[in-house]
Amino acid sequence: MFRIVSILMLCLGSCFVADAQVEVKEDFPIDMLMSRYANQNQAKQSIGGWRIQIMAKTDRLAIEREKENFLLEFPGVSVDWTHSKPYYRLRAGAFQTKLQAIRMLQDIKDKYPGAFPVKDSIQKEELLSSI
C-alpha cells in the first residue's frame, strides 16, 4: 500500500514540476517571407465582400430619391450608389460573407423585392464599422 501511494505521489509531483517552455526558432528565409506577407496584407485597403443591390436605373435622381427612402426605412445600414454606364446602382451594406448579406436581404426584401446580393470590393474601415 505504501508503495502504491509513493508511486502515485511521485507521478503527481512530476506533473507539477514539468513546467515546459517551448521556443520556436524560424529560419531566416521563412521569417522574411512571413514579414513580407504581413506587410502586403496591411497595405491592402479593400477586400472582397458582399453588398445588397437594391436597384439599378439609368436615372440618377431616381436613385438618389430611393437612397433617401432607404435611409429612412433602414437607418443603421450604409447605402450608396455607383455609376457604371449606363446604370446607376444602389447598393447597401458591407458584408464579409454571403451568408451575412442574405440575413440582411431577408429584411430588405419586404420593401425591395428585386434586391439581391452582389460581390463587391469593400474598404476595410467600412467592413469594420458595419459589424
pLDDT tens-digit map of 91-127: 999 999 999 999 999 999 999 999 999 999 988 887 7
How are beta strands 116-123 and 87-95 bridged, if at all? unpaired
pLDDT for residue 9 = 66
pLDDT for residue 31 = 87
Question: Is the pTM here over 0.75, yes or no?
Answer: no
pLDDT for residue 88 = 97
C-alpha cell at 81: 450608389
In angstroms, the CA 15 to CA 89 distance is 64
Contact of 79 with 71, CB cutoff 8 Å:
yes
pLDDT for residue 126 = 78
Q: Would you say the C-alpha torsion 43, 47, 53, 55 has a positive or negative sign? A: positive
Each domain of the chain, given as residue ranges in start order, spans 47-129
**Residue 79 one-letter amino acid:** V
Question: Which of 65 and 13 is assigned the larger pLDDT?
Answer: 65
Interval 14-68: pLDDT, tens: 555 556 688 888 888 888 898 888 888 777 788 889 999 999 999 999 999 999 9
Contact of 102 with 52, CB cutoff 8 Å:
no
In angstroms, the CA 107 to CA 54 distance is 12
Q: Report the top-level CATH class of 47-129.
A: alpha beta
